Amino acid sequence: MPISLVDVASLAGVSLATASRVVSGSPYKVSSKTRERVLKAVGELGYTPNALARALVTDSNPIIGVIVGSVTDPYFAEICRGVEDFARPHEFLTIVCNADRNLSIEMAYLQMLREYKSLGIIIAGGMYTNTPETEAIREIVRKATEQGIQIVSVGDRFFEGVPTITADHRCGLYDLTNYLIHLGHKEIAFVEGPPDFTTSTSRKQGYLDAMDDANLEPLTYSGSFDYQDGRSSALRILSDGLPEAIIAFNDDSAVGVLNTLRQAGVKIPQDVSVAGVDDIRYAEVLDLTTVNVPMYQLGAMAAHAIFNWEENPPPKQVILPHRVVPRGTTARRVKLATIVSTVEGYPS
């Protein structure tokens, strides 16, 4: 970038300070005459202010960073869109950073965003609780907030003094499990998320609570985030024998379960009901019963919080409502005996 403000100033025949005043939009203190001269020079030279230098001296940068757990997870894509749609009108650029659910990488991005003096940072997703970096992250987050950067956590994750905007993952699973129970199912299996991951724990707890409240025996299978994880869990379920219903930690793994079961000849929902969580776009496409987590709104609200921090400081915590979305992969439990007994003229 060879062309700087000094070039503009000299071409316009004014001082650097004056040139700066007009391009930086500082409180009017320059005559329209000189302003025009400067603007003309800017145009002729094709000058654009250097964001780096500007951020260095103003200690602020019109960007907001979104640190996501995984770029390839549609869950986060929706959150990003929510953030961006809100940031765009403010003329802020959104930077998305893929931490790959790795706390070291997350730290690096956090540090970067901090050094860049970004207005705000949105940390999206849950976290692994069994790693040593946890404390270091909290430290960086603390420093960043002290520095004046507005941080909000979007997901099942809490930092001291940082507002959290999330859905109630425990309750979401509680409701979904209950929905299946009300459908008449008793043997309801849960394919867990990755171990030692906050969202996993919360969701599993919701399932366990619902089963417990209904005096039903819980049945869990290990699992993780992805389609392939769902597939391998399904294979284990198949070899154990089918329950009446299966809930997976999230939609992606639920789809893995769904496909594997179907390929094994299992009819869904006739033989077994299957449900996921999140309501990613493909859940609708595949007619998968799930729990809608308002990802877009989560992102939009986080951005809203950042842009209205001063006038309207965000509360410690906001819980956005979830909603069980019944679709075609779940059905009322129908025992063979029941069928026969209900068919006219054929008493059991």
Binding site for a second copy (CB under 8 A): 1-2, 48, 50-53, 55-56, 63, 71-72, 74, 77-78, 80-81, 84, 88, 93-98, 100, 105, 108-109, 111-112, 114-117, 143, 147, 227, 255, 259, 281-282, 285-286
Is 102 near DNA (CB under 7 A)? no
Q: Which does 43 bind (CB under 5 to 8 A by kind): DNA, a second copy, none?
A: none
CA 181/CA 5 separation, integer angstroms: 69
Residue 197 gets which letter from DSSP? Answer: B
Neighbours of 69 (CB within 10 A): 23
Identify the H or E element spanning 135. helix 134-146
Place of tokens 């000189």: 34
35 binds, options DNA, a second copy, none, Cβ within 5 to 8 A by partner type: DNA
72 binds, among DNA, a second copy, none (CB under 5 to 8 A by kind): a second copy
Q: Which of 199, 247, 205 is nearest to 101 (CA)?
A: 199
**Nearest distance from residue 56's CB to a second copy, in Å?**
5
Check binding of 15 to DNA (CB under 7 A).
yes
Q: How far apart are CA 303 and CA 48, in angstroms?
A: 27
Q: Work out whether 47 is an interface residue with DNA (CB under 7 A).
A: yes
Q: How far is the CB of 44 from DNA (least distance, A)?
A: 15
Which member of 11, 42, 45, 54 binds DNA (CB under 7 A)? 54
Give the up-direction half-sphere exposure of residue 180: CA atoms within 13 A in the CB hemisphere: 33
CB closer to DNA out of 49 and 218: 49
Dihedral of alpha carbons 263, 266, 267, 273, sign:
negative
Distance (Å, whole) CA 279 – CA 320 = 14
Output the smallest distance, CB 25 to DNA, in A: 8
Q: Which of 10, 31, 222, 317 binds DNA (CB under 7 A)?
A: 31
Our CB check for a second copy shows the closer of 315 and 328 to be: 328
Of the residues 39, 45, 49, 175, which one makes contact with DNA according to CB under 7 A:
49
Q: Which two tokens stand for residue 38?
A: 């400067």
Gap between the Cα atoms of 163 and 200, Å rounded: 21
User: Which of DNA, a second copy, none does residue 336 bind (CB under 5 to 8 Å by kind)?
Assistant: none
Specify whether the CB–CB gap between 252 and 283 falls below 8 A.
no
Instruction: Determine the Cα–Cα distance for residues 27 and 12; give it in Å rounded to an integer.
Output: 20
Footprint on this chain of DNA (rule: CB under 7 A):
1-2, 4-6, 13-18, 20-21, 23-24, 26, 28-31, 33-35, 47-50, 52-54, 56-58
